[in-house]
Amino acid sequence: MENATEVHLSSYPLLEQTTGMQWIGVKFLNHLPAGRDNVHSDTMRFCEAVCRAGHGGIELSPEMIRCDGAKRAFAWVKNKDEALALHLSEKAGMSEETARKLIQQAPVLGFPYAGIRVGQSVNPDVLVTYVRPEAAMRLVRFWETTTGRSLRANVSSIMAVCGNAVVKAYMSQSISISFGCPDSRQYGGIQPEEMVIAVPTGLLHRITGTGDRRSIQLSK
């Protein structure tokens, strides 16, 4: 959701201090700005855009997304579950029925936004990063320390960055954890020892005030 109050990623140093990793902002746009200078002429997967965005922001329109799974996650295509299930069953060696069930469980945005800004953006809706398990543990400890609750994770190996990380975090307003999928590991720059974490900024505001600038001290 677009917001008149500008909040930059620099407002969230706690995340980088806690995990030691760079975070990428994801902003859902009601309108794509005219005369954009960060438009890429080539198409790409969303996870690939997350990887590239560490070197410069990218604004994505539906036409720029190469992956039908990501288009489904962002509500840019409908009625493609059967084709997606066939593709997944052939690629993953599972039955079409199983593939269909998994796809139907994958989160979908409730509204098809005009575009998505990925990078060091203003007013991000979701922050996403690739981390090692130890860094993920520190973030979970932060969650437990500030909320007094365990973090519940529902993990899937399909649409693992677009749907089951970013969209899930946005729709549920909770931290999402993903181990990636074969495509995101091939194209999205996820290293063998890394996992994906997405955090909605609305949640971060609620549990820290306005994006707490303290680094969390962890007991050993």
Residue 29 lies in domain = 9-208
User: In this structure, is residue 213 part of a structural domain?
Assistant: no
**Residue 205 and residue 199 in contact, taking contact as beta carbons nearer than 8 Å:** no
User: In this structure, is residue 140 part of a structural domain?
Assistant: yes
pLDDT at 203: 83
- Average pLDDT of 52-66? 90
User: In this structure, is residue 218 part of a structural domain?
Assistant: no
Residue 19: band (very low, low, confident or very high) from pLDDT cuts 50, 70, 90:
confident
Distance CA 52, CA 50 (A): 6
Structurally, the chain folds into a number of domains equal to 1
Report for 30-34, 132-136, 211-215: range of highest mean pLDDT: 132-136
Across 6-15, 82-91, 145-154, least confident range: 6-15
Give me the residue label for tokens 């590239």: 52
Across 30-34, 81-85, 210-214, least confident range: 210-214
pLDDT at 122: 67
Give me the residue label for tokens 């269909």: 100
User: In this structure, is residue 1 part of a structural domain?
Assistant: no
User: In this structure, is residue 104 part of a structural domain?
Assistant: yes
User: In this structure, is residue 215 part of a structural domain?
Assistant: no
User: In this structure, is residue 4 part of a structural domain?
Assistant: no
Distance CA 57, CA 27 (A): 11
Distance CA 149, CA 113 (A): 32
**Tokens found for residue 98:** 């199983």
pLDDT at 107: 96
Residue 10: band (very low, low, confident or very high) from pLDDT cuts 50, 70, 90:
low
- Average pLDDT of 42-46? 92
pLDDT at 175: 93
Helices (H) and strands (E) in the chain, counts: 9, 6
Residue 216: band (very low, low, confident or very high) from pLDDT cuts 50, 70, 90:
very low
User: In this structure, is residue 220 part of a structural domain?
Assistant: no
**Residue 178 and residue 158 in contact, taking contact as beta carbons nearer than 8 Å:** no
pTM of the model: 0.86
- Average pLDDT of 117-142? 89
